[in-house]
Structure 1
Amino acid sequence: MGEIAERYRRHADAFERKVAAVQPDQWDNPSPCARWSAKDVVDHIIAMHGYMLPAGHSLSPAPDDPLSRFRSARADVEAVLGSELAHEESDTPAGRMTVADHIDQVVSDDMVLHGWDLARATGQDDTMDPVDVERLWAATSKIPPELMEKCRTPGAFGPGVEVYGPEVEVPGDASLQDRLLGLIGRDPA
């Protein structure tokens, strides 16, 4: 659990810094995610935290500002990662796994990718940690074509759920970060 909790903490720290740096007049800025503003990106990450909690648990009430809501959702997930609940298994769209593994594979990684979206929407540094880029590239580039097609199909995992957009071609000499972004449907340019 230590590695998963540590990775989650690193990703949450980086995402929280980006949320804290958003200026009040930037929340409505468009993001690289089609139809989403900067605030929508943060709202998505907060909602995903709630989906990661074990059955019967929900996010704690929080003040209605993005930073406070993120910090509260983060505290809820960190509490789960530090408890026996992290070892419980449940069925997920990717198969049966522990709560900790589900957090690691979904919301923890989501904070890296959507951190880029938030940074782009608000003019912040959008450089991802190279260690995370390598790990995400290794996992994402190995997704079987039929599953990748499902990930690119809006609604395939539930109403309104769109995992990846259509692949964006990037130059052959593009950085690994840009290749990863293109693979998941983001235009790094």
Structure 2
Amino acid sequence: MMTIDVPEAYRRALDDFGALVHRIGPDQWENPTPCVDWDVRSLVNHVVGENLWAPELLAGRTHAEIGDVFEGDLLGDDPIKAFDTSAVPAVQAAIDHRVLDRVVHLPFGDVPGREYITELFADALIHTWDLARAIGADERLDPELVTACATWFADAGFGYRQAAVGEHQAGEHRKVPSETDAQARLLASWGRRA
């Protein structure tokens, strides 16, 4: 169970990711990231795709109804503008508390809106660290968001890891010493080496 408001956690995580998007240098879009086979551009494209899917899925549409409109290069010639344009409707859809109990149709099954938004939050948070590492920015994540994500992932991690949405996000769990800080433990649970 999350200890903070799920839509607010998602908004904050996406804001933090967006702040880093605005710091990407022209020569950094091809930098490798901790995500297997993804450079910075691919990572940002992934998050933009998630942002574009969110309002549609939270409105009750299915993947089949939407089709492949959000596949391929979503960044075009202005990746920063593409991110900004995608983030606003995603957050607006998520902060409408009526969607928390709505059924969301994901490829692997139906889930409550609250669960889907939690997955979006976790994805944005972990990818914030991925992007920071890739561009050499400060890698510290918001401690309150780290705690909230760790609490959720402790219960949901196995199922999330098995689902298709987790194929790039959640790598194999890494063991870390017990005295490791909360952020490093969270990242290790997502297969990251902090």
TM-score for the superposition, normalised by structure 2? 0.77
Unaligned runs of 5+ in 2: none
Deviations 1:28-85 (A, max 9, x none): 11111111111111111111122222326777x9863221111111122133235587
Instruction: Tell me if the contact between 1:62 and 1:72 (Cα under 8 Å) persists in the aligned partners.
Output: no
Percent identity (aligned): 26
Change over 3 Å in CA distance of 1:33–1:91 after alignment to 2: same
The equivalent position to 2:134 in structure 1, one of 108, 111, 121, is 121
Amino acid in the other structure paired with 1:97:
P
List aligned pairs for 1:80-159, cutoff 5 A. 80-81=93-94, 86=99, 88-92=102-106, 93=108, 95-98=110-113, 101-143=114-156, 145=158, 147=159, 151=161, 157=164
Amino acid in the other structure paired with 1:17:
A
Question: Per the alignment, in what secondary structure is the counterpart of residue 172 of structure 1?
Answer: coil
Task: Name the residue aligned to 1:30.
Answer: 32
Quote the offset at 1:164 in angstroms: 1.4
Rounded to whole Å, the distance in 2 between the matches of 1:170 and 1:83 is: 38
Task: Name the residue aligned to 1:49.
Answer: 51
Change over 3 Å in CA distance of 1:4–1:135 after alignment to 2: closer
Task: Name the residue aligned to 1:67.
Answer: 80
1:185 equivalent to 2:181? Answer no
Instruction: Tell me if the contact between 2:171 and 2:192 (Cα under 8 Å) persists in the aligned partners.
Output: yes
Change over 3 Å in CA distance of 1:105–1:34 after alignment to 2: same
Rounded to whole Å, the distance in 1 between the matches of 2:77 and 2:89 is: 16
Rounded to whole Å, the distance in 2 between the matches of 1:3 and 1:166 is: 28
Quote the offset at 1:116 in angstroms: 0.1
Instruction: Tell me if the contact between 1:33 and 1:117 (Cα under 8 Å) persists in the aligned partners.
Output: yes
Rounded to whole Å, the distance in 1 between the matches of 2:157 and 2:43 is: 27
Rounded to whole Å, the distance in 1 between the matches of 2:21 and 2:84 is: 10
CA RMSD between the two structures:
2.9
Quote the offset at 1:157 in angstroms: 1.9
Unaligned runs of 5+ in 1: none
Change over 3 Å in CA distance of 1:84–1:141 after alignment to 2: closer
The equivalent position to 1:11 in structure 2, one of 10, 13, 22, is 13
Rounded to whole Å, the distance in 2 between the matches of 1:164 and 1:23 is: 27
Rounded to whole Å, the distance in 2 between the matches of 1:5 and 1:183 is: 23
Deviations 1:4-27 (A, max 9, x none): 443232222211110001111011
Instruction: Tell me if the contact between 2:52 and 2:86 (Cα under 8 Å) persists in the aligned partners.
Output: yes
TM-score for the superposition, normalised by structure 1? 0.79
Question: Per the alignment, in what secondary structure is the counterpart of residue 24 of structure 1?
Answer: coil
1:168 equivalent to 2:174? Answer yes
